Amino acid sequence: MGMVGGGRGAFIGAVHRMAAAIDGQIELVCGAFSSDAEKSRLSGEDLFLPADRVYGSYAEMIEKEKALPANERMDFVSIVTPNHVHFPPAKMALENGFHVVCDKPLCFNMEEAHELAQLVKDTGLIFALTHNYTGYPMVKHAKQMIANGTLGEVRKIVVEYPQGWLSTKLEDSEQKQASWRTDPSKSGIAGSIGDIGTHAENLAEYISGLQIKELCADLSTFVPGRQLDDDGNVLLRFNNGAKGLLFCSQIAVGEENNLRIRIYGTKAAVEWRQQDPNDLVVRHLDQPMQVLRTGVGDLAAAAQAHTRLPAGHPEGYLEAFASIYRNFAKHVQARLSGEEVDPVYDFPTVEDGVRGMQFIYKVVESGQSDDKWTTFE
Amino acid sequence: MGMVGGGRGAFIGAVHRMAAAIDGQIELVCGAFSSDAEKSRLSGEDLFLPADRVYGSYAEMIEKEKALPANERMDFVSIVTPNHVHFPPAKMALENGFHVVCDKPLCFNMEEAHELAQLVKDTGLIFALTHNYTGYPMVKHAKQMIANGTLGEVRKIVVEYPQGWLSTKLEDSEQKQASWRTDPSKSGIAGSIGDIGTHAENLAEYISGLQIKELCADLSTFVPGRQLDDDGNVLLRFNNGAKGLLFCSQIAVGEENNLRIRIYGTKAAVEWRQQDPNDLVVRHLDQPMQVLRTGVGDLAAAAQAHTRLPAGHPEGYLEAFASIYRNFAKHVQARLSGEEVDPVYDFPTVEDGVRGMQFIYKVVESGQSDDKWTTFE
Amino acid sequence: MGMVGGGRGAFIGAVHRMAAAIDGQIELVCGAFSSDAEKSRLSGEDLFLPADRVYGSYAEMIEKEKALPANERMDFVSIVTPNHVHFPPAKMALENGFHVVCDKPLCFNMEEAHELAQLVKDTGLIFALTHNYTGYPMVKHAKQMIANGTLGEVRKIVVEYPQGWLSTKLEDSEQKQASWRTDPSKSGIAGSIGDIGTHAENLAEYISGLQIKELCADLSTFVPGRQLDDDGNVLLRFNNGAKGLLFCSQIAVGEENNLRIRIYGTKAAVEWRQQDPNDLVVRHLDQPMQVLRTGVGDLAAAAQAHTRLPAGHPEGYLEAFASIYRNFAKHVQARLSGEEVDPVYDFPTVEDGVRGMQFIYKVVESGQSDDKWTTFE
Amino acid sequence: MGMVGGGRGAFIGAVHRMAAAIDGQIELVCGAFSSDAEKSRLSGEDLFLPADRVYGSYAEMIEKEKALPANERMDFVSIVTPNHVHFPPAKMALENGFHVVCDKPLCFNMEEAHELAQLVKDTGLIFALTHNYTGYPMVKHAKQMIANGTLGEVRKIVVEYPQGWLSTKLEDSEQKQASWRTDPSKSGIAGSIGDIGTHAENLAEYISGLQIKELCADLSTFVPGRQLDDDGNVLLRFNNGAKGLLFCSQIAVGEENNLRIRIYGTKAAVEWRQQDPNDLVVRHLDQPMQVLRTGVGDLAAAAQAHTRLPAGHPEGYLEAFASIYRNFAKHVQARLSGEEVDPVYDFPTVEDGVRGMQFIYKVVESGQSDDKWTTFE
């Protein structure tokens, strides 16, 4: 793995490295950790990389790695930069034959999104988008329950993602995470909707197997002087007739990272909350509530395939994130060996990324419209 | 107290009687428990009432009680019938000088609502509407925190009321509660929005001290053949610029009576859930989360005034309901004695009832409209 | 009902009155609310009692009520005084033909306990002890599950009752509850073990259907200058070979009234916590955890018979307490009518009270002993 | 790192490898993964190790690695075998100059324990015992609160560790974990007390800073035919006068890995539960309950030093385990560089291991004794 971004002081780069390391399947072999060559060099040192595999730019990295013998060069590129620097390295990596793991949202705008999707299609390379929350075992189990019909027909989906860390104008401090996320030149047309709303949208569609087909949004910017939305409320209508609500907020003071989803069907309902990820609450018509737990009893094969520890040994965010990398790695290895990969080892793709970008655009469009419903094909 | 409705087999009548009895301030002295005179008589027997104080109709009760000497007759009428039988006994009671406690929603339609409000105004009598959830101690405390400015300016309100008991077509069975609630000739123009949505609206405005000024609703009827809505999702905008979400559902399979509210301000947030009513979660900017508990520490005077037991002795639904009756009784007694009542002993009034009726009408109007926002003055 | 004790400022007297009132089956008709005749009179006024039914002493009350015509006099005596004033009024009431409800523990010492049990036996009168925690619906359900064999053979019981209200020397203030409970001349030989440890013992034996046969106790007095134990840890051995732990504490700072029990069998386990009384957690061998809830699904008949409200309308401490009164009243009525009472309507008896007194004595004995095990027959 | 044990099918070996990998500070360079040389070889292949660094025995590994140039050989040995195979490789590693990480309990018997402690002392090498639960951030914070005096004087400690996985005679199946843990020739003189009771003892003493000085134990073997205890209840007395309870069980049916501790002081109390490791409940005298959360607010430096992610991104068992390795690695690196290590980066040592072994012996002794108290120096 060669990394683009994630130098000293970055948050998500370290997450990607820890996630990639856990299962012992992926080795960080090179990186262009910063657009500042000196900072990149120092970051490489921190990571025990040989000096000649630490590059001053992603372009240099891709060129020089490509020039190495096949069994020495990196197998794929991991892109952990702010949104506006997803597309250029992803494009160049694909054009030079490297598989790609990319942080979400996919890129800066729709044009980039479509071009990237086309490139993946044309090159046949493997592209994973780190909608990491789909990596949790109980998310996998919930998806399987719905696919099996255990919930009956889905009627209602409530998905919410409150955070409080942008309740004040944190971007005026030196806080790096806040500053680029609230800057339209780096983040794109949306703030909270792009940063966390897309996780919520992705999770809802992933678990339910449904697609949003209409939405009605009310976006707000509560913190004075902020340039992008920091809160959004959205009514949803799904392609099977189910109704829903999605809200995301970064001004929900005191909330940490409280992604939560409830899906009600005709026969049963599921509830999952990211801060207690090893619980899956299942409610039935006139039967006792169940709390399914990671590692307990006879869970779906997909849940078991994403569980590393016995019951009661809590698995968390890094493990779920690691599962995205592990599954991606299985596909890369299978490409080399010609083997099949069991479908339980899935991961979000460039198509999920395009849909996420479309969601951002449609929510922003709806937020500015007087029409009640905006179609989302 | 004289009761209208609440005969054998009724649910809410028994609740009103238990709630009125707890504090030893109110005595049930007479009733017209059913429009079926024999059923009324039997219900009166169950309740140890003398036969001559059990009436065959509310009209008979009001007439005959009025004819009794002042120190013998009932002090007020409690109306616990289905929605379409709120207005006639309430009107007659007021016109004959009796104070009234009435179940919610206030009545069957807007015309009745306005007439009732006018009558209360004209007679000067005391009228309480049993939006019982406002009687919980921790609801009182949350309201006080916001009034004190502890939360700063309110930015976001999320209020939800999922139930699952109407997930199937229960009204086709003999279930009495289900049948009138889903019948437009008894319930009025709304199903879930009238039955539980108004509780959510009332609670949000009561705690926050704000008013909804615009809304955008998506109402659904999921159970085939049902005549009224059984699910609703509503975007809210409040008069101070806060945004919100309200949803209610009676097809949220497996949910019991899960009324829950979260209010986020600029400085802190509160979260309260009716099924765990003695907890109030308070989140602050960068401080540890607190769980305030009924009876623990230095709570608001209004919370203490609605607490009967030491900490850790759980108080529930009946106690909160009892507080509405207890506060109403204090006002009735004060009317007689000429004393002042401390404002902590509040209760929902006919004006709250009118607002609840307007809310129902506006939500139904919005649900049928292609306009995004419907004004709610 | 005629009440002994429970005048102005008392806690448990008001609880008994509210509990007795809820179900509309019991009327407070007289009382000797204080050993101070003036205070008794004022308390009677607060309760709207006629002056001639408010007495200056329990002896006066019992004598004068007995002299009233049978259909006018009180049906039973409710004793809500401190421990050292349980026995005298109970004895006199029984000797004069009145049924008795008595607060726990049964009395001041073993001699009184045995005499009272004999009197109940000799008179054939009905005697209820208010171990109120056994009145909760989910406690009833847990008991039935074990009786049905759902748990298999019981192996381990952990019962705990932490409170924190006596963490400081509250008895030096004017706090009436604290002062008599920590005074050996009023409370008896034990502090926390008598006040709350007996509730724990009673609950464990009630739910499990087992009996403690050996125990090993470590009692402590942590607050300097206090005269009785304020903390106790006890190893238990049950008559079927099960092992257990009981602890109670009144210096567990910050704890409210956190009675909790876990019972593990060979096939399943139950967990119940008084502060969340409507939940019963059930764990099975290799099956998902269930959370049974008051009013949800097909609970035991005994649970349903102690449930007043639909699911999700939380019932609390007063309702459970009320069920003890309601069941006692059913037995009193049945005595008059000659009918049978369904065994689901049980209540703690004088025999439970004797066993509780023995438990107190055995724990104190063990606490002072160097022998590991003290037999408890 | 060179690993002893942890071949295909083992549980804890994989945990050690994942834990060591997360932070990118430790590389697995060699191993003797099984006493079966072929199995060791295959395990090494799974782990992408070169064939010449996969050894057929720990003795071969230590000898051959020692023969390599200093900058090529392993830096330390990680021992992840069953209890009876801790001592031989640990001894040999220390005698040959290698630092050691060893799974708990320290070894098979007291003689080995003392010899190992002496060896560590004599060689001056670094020895870490993986009492991994002390690696959680909120455990670090609780320890610091007590050290700071926030709790006042500690009065009561309740520590419990229920599991249910040995509720049936699992050792009769092929389940490898069950079979050696219940075999006295591999596990030593204790079952549940050694496997999990020592974790509870270690955690209680680590957080409180106190030492158990007397104990009274009741050990049981509930599953017929099992050779070692599967359940234990223990009364504790601490060196400052605090009292306590410890229980562990592997027949607590349905429990996963529910290690939990409550410590009550004169001024405040803390509660921590391993299955929700990012919560620390703090209760105060007459103040609202707080729920401190990993990453929220101003936690102790030691807590922050063991937190990898922002608040709300749950960290779990592997991360806590990884912190033991990371801290050990810091000490190994500091030994090379001559730098000081900040005391927040602590880890359990061979002395903790000796104490754990003594605890096992004292509990077993007490369990067989008729004396109430057994001294534990």
Does residue D374 fall inside a structural domain?
A: no
Handedness of CA B163, B169, B174, B179 (dihedral sign): positive
Assess if residue B322 is contained within a domain: no
pLDDT tens digit sequence for A43-73: 999 999 999 999 999 999 999 999 999 999 9
CB–CB contact B318 C22 (8 Å): yes
Interval C10-32 mean pLDDT: 95
Q: Rounded mean pLDDT of chain D?
A: 96
D58 with D160, same domain: the answer is no
Strands (E), A231-278: 231-238, 243-249, 260-265, 268-273
Question: Going by C-beta distance under 8 Å and a sequence separation of 6 or more, which residues neighbour residue B148?
Answer: none
Domain boundary among A129, A161, A191: A129
**In what helix (H) or strand (E) does residue B92 lie, and over which residues does it extend?**
helix B87-95
Backbone angles phi, psi at A249, to 5 degrees: -155, 140
- In which band, very low, low, confident or very high, does the pLDDT at D2 lie, cut at 50, 70 and 90? very high
Q: Are residues B123 and B21 in the same domain?
A: yes
Closest alpha carbon to A5 in A97, A77, A98, A107: A77
For residue B343, tell me if it sits in a domain.
Answer: no
B73 and B190 share a domain? no
- C151 and C93 together in one domain: no
SS (H, E, C) D35-74: CCHHHHHHHHHHCCCCHHHECCCHHHHHHHHHHCCCCCCC
Name chain D contacts of A319, Cβ cutoff 8 Å: 316, 318
Residue B225 pLDDT: 97
pLDDT of amino acid A281: 98
| pLDDT tens digits, one per residue of B235-284 | 999 999 999 999 999 999 999 999 999 999 999 999 999 999 999 999 99
- Give yes or no: residues D108 and D144 share one domain: no
Please report, for residues A355, C128, C176, C251, D175, the alpha-carbon distance to residue C354 in angstroms, rounded to integers and kept in the order given.
71, 12, 26, 27, 49
> Using the beta-carbon criterion (under 8 Å), do D17 and A24 form an inter-chain contact?
yes
Checking if the pLDDT of B50 tops 80, the result is: yes
- In CATH, what number is assigned to the domain containing residue B222? 3.30.360.10
Confidence of residue B286 (pLDDT cuts 50, 70, 90): confident
Per-residue model confidence as pLDDT tens digits over D109-120: 999 999 999 999
A3: tokens are: 């990394």
Cis peptide before B105 (omega within 30 of 0): yes
Q: Average pLDDT of chain B?
A: 96
Going by pLDDT thresholds of 50, 70 and 90, the confidence category of residue C257 is very high
- Residues C109-129 have pLDDT tens digits of 999 999 999 999 999 999 999
pLDDT of residue C342: 97
Rounded Cα gap, residues C116 and C129, in angstroms: 12
Confidence tier at C10 by pLDDT (50, 70, 90): confident
- The confidence score (pLDDT) of residue D261 equals 98
DSSP D273: E
Quickly tell me which residue has 């309902």 as its tokens: A269
Instruction: Assign B361 a pLDDT band (cuts: 50, 70, 90).
Output: very high
Instruction: Determine contact, residues B271/B262, Cβ cutoff 8 Å.
Output: yes
Residue D60 falls inside a structural domain = yes
Is residue C263 within 8 Å of residue C146, measured between CB atoms? yes
C323 lies in a domain? no
- A119 and A256 fall within a common domain: no
Domain boundary among the residues C71, C102, C129 is at: C129
Same domain, B118 and B63: yes
Residues of D in contact with C167 (CB under 8 A): 266, 285
- Whether A286 shows a pLDDT value over 80: the answer reads no
- Summarize the confidence of residues C161-187 as an average pLDDT: 94
C364 in Cβ contact with C189 (< 8 Å): yes
% of chain B at pLDDT higher than 90: 97
Whether residues B318 and C318 touch (CB distance < 8 A) is answered with yes
- Number of B/D CB contacts below 8 angstroms equals 36
Q: pLDDT tens for residues A170-186?
A: 999 988 889 999 999 99
Give residue D286's pLDDT.
Answer: 76
DSSP-derived pairing of the beta strands B260-265 and D287-293: unpaired
Same domain, C94 and C143: no
Give the neighbours of chain A: at least 3 Cβ pairs within 8 Å: B, C, D
Is there a contact between B254 and A155 if contact means CB atoms under 8 Å apart?
no
CA dist., res. B334 & res. C172, Å (int): 38
Residues of chain C with C-beta less than 8 angstroms from the C-beta of B258: 312
Average pLDDT over residues D12-19: 95
Give the three-class secondary structure for D243: strand
Rounded distance between C-alpha atoms, residue B204 and residue B200, angstroms: 6
DSSP string over B210-273: --EEEEEEEEE--STT-SS-SEEEEEEEETTS-EEEEEEES--TT--S--EEEEEESSEEEEEE
Rounded to whole angstroms, the Cα distance separating A75 from A72 reads: 9
Query: Is C324 within the bounds of a domain?
Result: no
Same domain, B99 and B176: no
Residues of A with CB under 8 A from a CB of D: 11, 14-15, 17-18, 21-24, 28, 47-48, 163, 165, 255-258, 274-278, 293, 295-296, 308-319
The pLDDT of residue B17 is above 90: yes
From the list A286, A291, A298, the residue facing C291 with the nearest CB is: A291
Question: Which residues are C260's β-sheet partners?
Answer: C160, C273
Beta bridge partners of A292: A280
Range of the domain at C123: 2-129
Of B117-131, B163-177, C351-365, D243-257, the range with the lowest mean pLDDT is: B163-177
pTM (two decimals): 0.97
| D342 domain-assigned | no
pLDDT of residue C252: 98
Q: Do B292 and C289 contact (CB within 8 A), yes or no?
A: no
Q: Please tell me which residue of chain D has the smallest CA distance to B293.
A: D288
Is A374 within a domain? no
| Edge-to-edge strands, sheet with A99-102 | A30-32, A2-4, A76-79, A99-102, A127-129
Both A197 and A110 in a single domain? Answer: no
CATH number where D62 lies: 3.40.50.720
Confidence of residue C303 (pLDDT cuts 50, 70, 90): very high
Q: Tell me the chain C residues in contact with residue A282 when contact means C-beta distances shorter than 8 Å.
A: 288
pLDDT of residue B9: 79
Q: Does C237 lie in the same domain as C89?
A: no
Same domain? For B193 and B252 the reply is yes
Q: Which of B129, B149, B175 is the last residue of a domain?
A: B129
Structurally, chain C folds into a number of domains equal to 2
- Cα distance between residue B232 and residue B162, in whole Å: 10
Average pLDDT over every residue of C123-148: 98
Look up residue B196 and give its DSSP letter.
I
Contact criterion met (CB < 8 Å) for D318 and A315:
yes
Helix, coil or strand: residue B5: coil
Position B214 pLDDT exceeds 80: yes
- Confidence (pLDDT) at D9: 79
Say yes or no for a CB contact (<8 Å) between D291 and B293. no
Task: Kindly write down the DSSP assignment for every residue of B56-76, as one continuous string.
Answer: SSHHHHHHHHHHS-TTTS-SE
Q: Which of C188, C185, C166, C163 is CA-nearest to residue C177?
A: C166
Residue C58 CA, chain-centre distance (Å), reads 22
Work out the minimum CA distance from B13 to partner chain A, whole angstroms.
25
Give the pLDDT confidence score for residue C314 in this predicted structure.
98
Neighbours of chain C (3+ CB pairs under 8 A): A, B, D
Which amino acid makes up residue D64?
K
Indicate the Cα dihedral angle D217, D218, D222, D225, nearest 10°: 70
Mean pLDDT for chain A overall: 96
